[in-house]
Amino acid sequence: MELLESNSADAGDFVTLLRRFGALREDKHLQGHLPAVGGRQPVVETQATTVLAFKFSNGVLIAGDRRATAGNVVMYDRADKVLEIDRHSVMAIAGSPATAWEMARVLEHSFQFYRRSQLQEMSLEGKVRALSKLLRDNLGMVLQGVGVVVPLFATYDHGADDPAKVFFYDAMGAQFEATDFAASGSGGPSVRSILYYENAWGKTPLRELDEKGALTIALRALDTAAEADTATGGIDRQGKIFPVVKIVNQDGITTVPYDVLSSSFQAAI
């Protein structure tokens, strides 16, 4: 067989072999590689973007827009991408909602089981690495171009000198702790630029913002990202759809209600 007799330098490249035998198709409109099924057009998976998190004077603000897309189709405009894992931990998802929501459920049960069996909370390192392992275990799907998840993780570590924590990941599970802010998803580059500008050149650094100021920055960032990225929902003024915004601090997790988001946005514009 050609597969066994090939002595070329790329014979050991699995993706190249799949492409050579027609088991992998490439589509410039679908960013990445999707397996062909019987020569038919593959199903385009649903994607969720954009999410952000940053530290402010009262803890961590973590937010996500509401849009979920499949290719160029808007599948849903009220998706919840900011998921509570335990009393002081939140995961914000960018990528495949199906995979991410399953990861969130596994994390929630893992943290709960540890707390009940060990009669104490899991350590910060344990929580961060648990999510990293789930992402590593998903590598097989990532290599197929489906099920990719690139989340943010925010928590409050009571025993630390700087208790507000924000972590971001790559699709293979590498973890990084953010100094002040992080963003993920297709609108992430725009959001990071806005947060960097506000933190370095704005009137008040992010860490010194009060809750009202932090809400304003988050809403502006997501609405601005939506102008350049069709996969980001931003703020729907007519449909009255606002991002999901949660605050994590020593008191736990607070979901910012619609009326507060609406008044903050109206004051900002």
Percentage of the chain beyond pLDDT 90 is 65
Between 5-9, 112-116, 142-146, the lowest mean confidence (pLDDT) is in 5-9
List, in order of start, the domains of the chain with CATH numbers. Answer: 2-35 (no CATH), 47-268 (3.60.20.10)
Q: How far apart are CA 64 and CA 190, in angstroms?
A: 14
**Using 50, 70 and 90 to split pLDDT, how confident is the model at 146?**
confident
**Kind of pairing, strands 152-156 and 89-92?**
antiparallel
Cα–Cα dist 32/228, whole Å: 21
In this structure, is the dihedral angle defined by the CA atoms of residues 17, 20, 22 and 24, taken in order, positive or negative? positive
Per DSSP, the three-state class of 47 is strand
Task: Output the pLDDT for position 119.
Answer: 94
The arrangement of strands across the sheet holding 51-56 comes to: 181-184, 51-56, 59-64, 244-249, 252-255
At residue 159, what are phi and psi to the nearest 5 degrees?
A: -85, 0
From 46, 49, 216, 232, the catalytic residue? 49
CA–CA dist 46, 44 (Å, integer): 7
Q: How confident is the prediction for the chain on average, in pLDDT?
A: 86
**Nearest-angstrom CA–CA distance, 101 and 232:** 19
Pairing of β 33-35 and β 164-169: unpaired
Residue pair 243/64 in contact (Cβ under 8 Å)? The answer is: yes
Read off the pLDDT of residues 48-60 as tens digits, 9 standing for 90 and up.
Answer: 689 999 999 999 9
Q: 192 to each of 21, 197, 217, 249, 250, how far by Cα in Å?
A: 41, 8, 12, 22, 26
Q: What is the pLDDT of residue 118?
A: 94
Q: How far are the Cα atoms of 26, 42, 101, 175 from residue 49, in angstroms, in the given order?
A: 23, 21, 14, 19
Whether the predicted pLDDT of 175 surpasses 80: yes
Q: Is 49 a catalytic residue?
A: yes
> Is 27 a residue whose pLDDT tops 60?
no
> In which order are the strands placed within the sheet that holds 68-70?
47-48, 68-70, 73-76
